Amino acid sequence: MYSEELEWQFRLTQNAHSPPPVLYLPSAVIIHYEGRSSAQVPFVRHYHFQRSRLLLARLWYGSVFAKLFLTYLVLSYIWEILIESSKDLLGHRRDLRRQRIAVYAAVVSRLTDTVE
């Protein structure tokens, strides 16, 4: 759902033929509505985006790197949870803060199952 174009480009360069298998058409127009399919559900957007990044990291750099990257992502989400918790304690948009905390915690919980 995310990062597939990066993986596709990587595979093309790994299996490069002469001439390259990509054709440039300057008149072509592509409209990309980033995240529109999952914008309504924050958990889905966060989880699939980060999961795709982890799978790509494992594919390109191996499982050790992917595990290190997972650790970085988990720590980043924990940091965001701490920030949102602080804002909640200060009484700033509590419903939004609690929603984000729940989403981030769920993403952390699910991501840890991604890299084996």
Predicted pLDDT at 116 = 64
Specify if 17 maps to a domain.
yes
Q: What total of structural domains would you count in the chain?
A: 1
pLDDT at residue 73 above 70?
A: yes
Specify if 69 maps to a domain.
yes
Which residue range forms the structural domain that includes residue 54? Answer: 4-111
Specify if 116 maps to a domain.
no
Q: What span, in angstroms and rounded, lies between the C-alpha atoms of 14 and 28?
A: 25
In the structure, what pLDDT confidence band is assigned to residue 62 with cuts at 50, 70 and 90? Answer: very high
Specify if 44 maps to a domain.
yes
Specify if 56 maps to a domain.
yes
Question: How large is the average pLDDT for residues 44-48?
Answer: 90
Q: What are phi and psi of 75, to 5 degrees?
A: -65, -35
Question: How large is the average pLDDT for residues 16-45?
Answer: 76
For 84-101, the pLDDT digits (tens) are: 999 999 999 999 999 999
Residue 34: Cβ-neighbour burial (10 angstroms; 0-12, 13-18, 19+): exposed
Among the listed residues 7, 84, 76, 8, the one whose alpha carbon sits nearest the alpha carbon of residue 46? 76
Specify if 29 maps to a domain.
yes
Average model confidence (pLDDT) for the chain?
87
**Neighbouring residues of 110: CB distance < 8 A, sequence distance ≥ 6:** 47, 51
